[in-house]
Amino acid sequence: MFADWGNQVEFVDVLVRQAHPGPSVEAYRSLEQKVADAHRYVANEGIPWNVLIDDLAGMVHQVYGGLADPIYLIDVDGRVSLYVHWTNAPTLHMAIATLLRQDGRGVVLGGTNRFPHIGAAYTDGWKGLARGLPQSLVDMETSVPGSGVGAFVGHQLKPIIGSLTLKSRPLSSGKRLQAAAITGGIAGALFLGRRRSA
């Protein structure tokens, strides 16, 4: 995404709360903790764009909706062009291309995208979860059984399914069907595995 659009769009990340706390990534109790994590975030992920540090109460995050992984495309006049509730690169790719065709102004793709894009989360979500082990995994499995293990399995399968689930550009119809089948297969396998072990 950044390679495609970084010279025409300003990329900005705001660091929010710990989504999956654990022994070495505890819930923030001081701004110093958050600042230290922001530096680790940039270093570990190799992020070339601006990473901002919200205050301890997450005021900016809360005003902007407080969701776990949202992204806004803001136009050249400072107005919201698109609010994607669950970040999805192909959607943003289309949105940016459309916005630039409109001279950088106005609403694109209907202005809101609420679709929960779980393919990418299951393929790439383990990275964050792993930082909070073992508590983060226990919490995930207690809260949403299969979700933590699913993220681990997705991570292991990343070399195979990553080309479909982590594409930054929109998939063709055929590839979309393949991605849906793979995601459904993983979910089905996890469901059957849990039923057998119950």
Partner 1 sequence: MQPVETDILRDFSTLPDPMDVETYNFEHFRLKHLLHDIQRSLTNAGIAPNELAPDFILPSVGGETFRLSERRGKPVLLHFGSYT
Site for partner 1 in 79-98 (CB under 8 A): 79-83, 85-87, 92, 96
Question: Among residues 3 and 63, whose Cβ is nearest to partner 1?
Answer: 63
Please state, in angstroms and rounded to a whole number, the distance separating the CA atoms of residues 157 and 11: 29
Helices 147-156 and 135-143 pack at an angle, to 10 degrees, of 120
Angle at 64 between CA 168 and CA 129, to 5 degrees: 55
* Residues between 36 and 55 that touch partner 1 (CB under 8 A): 37-42, 50-55
Query: Minimum distance from CB of 36 to partner 1 (Å)?
Result: 10
Size of the site for partner 1 (CB under 8 A): 86
- Single residue of 94, 135, 157, 170 touching partner 1 by CB under 8 A: 135
- Torsional sign, CA 87, 46, 136, 34: negative
Question: Among residues 111 and 160, whose Cβ is nearest to partner 1?
Answer: 111
**Closest among 2, 9, 24, 56 to 132, alpha carbons compared:** 24
List CB contacts of 9: < 8 A, sequence separation 6 or more.
73, 96
91 neighbors 109 (Cβ within 8 angstroms): yes
* Residues between 137 and 176 that touch partner 1 (CB under 8 A): 139-140, 142-144
Question: Among residues 16 and 182, whose Cβ is nearest to partner 1?
Answer: 16
Question: Among residues 106 and 162, whose Cβ is nearest to partner 1?
Answer: 106
Query: Minimum distance from CB of 156 to partner 1 (Å)?
Result: 19
Question: Among residues 99 and 186, whose Cβ is nearest to partner 1?
Answer: 99
Asked if 59 touches partner 1 (CB under 8 A), the answer is yes
Please state, in angstroms and rounded to a whole number, the distance separating the CA atoms of residues 127 and 193: 23
**Closest among 94, 90, 71 to 175, alpha carbons compared:** 90
Asked if 64 touches partner 1 (CB under 8 A), the answer is yes
Retrieve residue 131's tokens. Answer: 């930082």
* Part in contact with partner 1 (CB under 8 A); list of ranges 71-79, 155-163, 165-173, 187-195: 71-79
Query: Minimum distance from CB of 131 to partner 1 (Å)?
Result: 5
